[in-house]
A and B are shown apart, each in its own frame.
Chain A
Amino acid sequence: MNRRDFLKAVVKSFFLLLGLSLFLPVLYIYPYRIKKKTVELFPVLDEDELPRSGVKRINLSYERGGRKINTRAFIVMSRTGLTALSPVCSHLGCLVNWDSNKREFLCPCHGGRYNMDGDVIAGPPPRPLTRLPIVIREGKVYIGMRI
C-alpha cells in the first residue's frame, strides 16, 4: 500500500466512524430510567357501598414523583359477578366513560364501545378493557392499579 492509498483509507474510515456515531444521539435520547410499574392496592369503598347492579365510577388520586395524579376505575356488578375495570381504552389509551343510558362504556377519542363487562361491542379497540384485581378485606374494597 502506498502513502496515497493509506491516506485515502484513513479518511474513509474516519467518515465511516462519523457515520456510525450518528446512532449515539438515539442512545442519548432514549430514557435512562424506565420505572417499572407495580400493582398497588387502593382502598376505594366500604363493602356496603358496592353497587348491587350496575357500574360505579371511582376517582383515585395518588402521588408520584412529587406530582398528584388523578385517575379513575370502574366497579361493575353484572350478571357475571363483581369486576373492576381499567378506564384505559385498549385502542390508543384514552379514558372511557360509562354511558348509563346506553349501558355501554364509550371512548371519546375514536368511538370505541364496550359492554358492561368490558368486552368490545364496536369500534377500533383490539381487546376488552383490562380487568383490575379486586379484593374485599375486613369490610373494605380494594382495587389493584398498575402505577
Chain B
Amino acid sequence: MGKIFDWIDSRFGVKEPHRRFLQRSLPPGVNYSYCLGGAAFTLFAISAVTGILLSIYYVPSETEAYMSIIRINEDVRLGWLVRSTHKWSANLLIVFIILHALRVFVSGAYRPPRELNWIVGVFTLISAMASGFTGYLLPWDQKAYWATVVGTSMAATVPFIGERLLYLLRGGPEVDGTTLIRFYSAHVLILPIMMSIILWAHFHMVKKQGISGGM
C-alpha cells in the first residue's frame, strides 16, 4: 500500500495479522449463505452510524421528544434519510441475525467446539431485540407509548419479583418521562457497548476456531 500507510503499519502492525485472517483458505462447501452474519454486522454498523447522527437532533425529554423527531423528518437536511435508514437497518438486523442463526443451525456449525459461539450469538440476538424495544419508545407517540406499556407490563407477570421488575424497567409505576430517559440511555449507551463487547467475542471465536466446513 501507500507510503503513509506503510509508515504507520511498520509501527502499528495491523497488516500482517489481517492478511493471515483475510487470506486464509476456506473449507470446502462454503457458499453465499455464509455471508449472512457479515450482512448482519454491516447492518449493525449502519445502525450505529445513523444512530450517532440521530442523537445530534433527538431530545430525550417528555415534552420535546416527539417534536424533535418531526424536526428530524421535516427540517433537518437528509434527516428523513438518516431516520429511515436507522429504522430499516434496525429491522433488517433482526431479520439477518435470525437468517444467520438458521444457517448455523442447518449447517450444524453450532457443534463442538463452537457451542460457546452459539451462546454468544444468542446474546447478540437478545441485545438486538432489546435495542429494538427501547428504540421503539423514543418517538414518544401513541404507538410507542402503548407498545411500551404492554411490553413492560409483561415483566409484571413474573412470579414474586414481577412488580419490582416493572418498577426497575419503567423507573416508577407508570410509563412516563423517567421511562423515556432510561430507555434512551439503554438504547444509545448500555446496549451498544454490550453489543460491541459481545460481537468482539463472537468474531474472536470465529477467528480462533475458523469457519466450520459446509454440509
A–B complex contacts, Cβ < 8 Å, 5 sampled: A35-B172, A35-B173, A67-B176, A93-B150, A110-B150
Interface size on A, residues (CB 8 A): 14
Q: Is the CB of A31 within 8 A of B149?
A: no
Chain B residues with Cβ under 8 A from A93's Cβ? 149-150, 153
Interface size on B, residues (CB 8 A): 16
Please measure, in the bound complex, the distance between the C-alpha atom of A86 and the C-alpha atom of B164, giving whole angstroms: 23
Interface membership of B182, Cβ < 8 A:
yes
A140 to chain B, nearest CB (A): 28
Chain A residues with Cβ under 8 A from B182's Cβ? 29
Which B residues are within 8 Å of any A CB, using their own CB?
Answer: 62, 146, 149-150, 153-154, 164, 167-168, 170-173, 176, 178, 182
Q: Is the CB of B146 within 8 A of A109?
A: yes
Q: Is the CB of B154 within 8 A of A92?
A: yes
Please measure, in the bound complex, the distance between the C-alpha atom of A67 and the C-alpha atom of B175, giving whole angstroms: 13
Interface membership of A23, Cβ < 8 A:
no
Chain B residues with Cβ under 8 A from A34's Cβ? 167, 172-173
Q: Is the CB of A94 within 8 A of B167?
A: no
Chain A interface main SS type: loop
Which A residues are within 8 Å of any B CB, using their own CB?
Answer: 26, 29-31, 34-35, 37, 67, 91-94, 109-110
In the complex, the number of residue pairs spanning A and B with C-beta atoms less than 8 Å apart equals: 35
Chain B residues with Cβ under 8 A from A26's Cβ? 168
Please measure, in the bound complex, the distance between the C-alpha atom of A142 and the C-alpha atom of B173, giving whole angstroms: 25
B194 to chain A, nearest CB (A): 13
Chain B residues with Cβ under 8 A from A29's Cβ? 168, 171, 182
Chain B residues with Cβ under 8 A from A31's Cβ? 167-168, 170-172, 178
Q: A30: nearest residue on chain B (CB-CB)?
A: B168
Please measure, in the bound complex, the distance between the C-alpha atom of A31 and the C-alpha atom of B177, giving whole angstroms: 13
Chain A residues with Cβ under 8 A from B173's Cβ? 34-35, 37
A14 to chain B, nearest CB (A): 22
Please measure, in the bound complex, the distance between the C-alpha atom of A37 and the C-alpha atom of B174, giving whole angstroms: 11
Please measure, in the bound complex, the distance between the C-alpha atom of A43 and the C-alpha atom of B170, giving whole angstroms: 30
Please measure, in the bound complex, the distance between the C-alpha atom of A101 and the C-alpha atom of B156, giving whole angstroms: 33
Please measure, in the bound complex, the distance between the C-alpha atom of A70 and the C-alpha atom of B10, giving whole angstroms: 66
Please measure, in the bound complex, the distance between the C-alpha atom of A91 and the C-alpha atom of B149, giving whole angstroms: 11
Task: Select which of B62, B153, B171, B178 is within 8 A of A92 by beta carbon.
Answer: B153
Chain A residues with Cβ under 8 A from B170's Cβ? 31
Chain B residues with Cβ under 8 A from A67's Cβ? 62, 176
Please measure, in the bound complex, the distance between the C-alpha atom of A92 and the C-alpha atom of B167, giving whole angstroms: 15
Please measure, in the bound complex, the distance between the C-alpha atom of A118 and the C-alpha atom of B62, giving whole angstroms: 33
Q: A147: nearest residue on chain B (CB-CB)?
A: B174
Chain B residues with Cβ under 8 A from A94's Cβ? 146, 149-150
Chain A residues with Cβ under 8 A from B168's Cβ? 26, 29-31
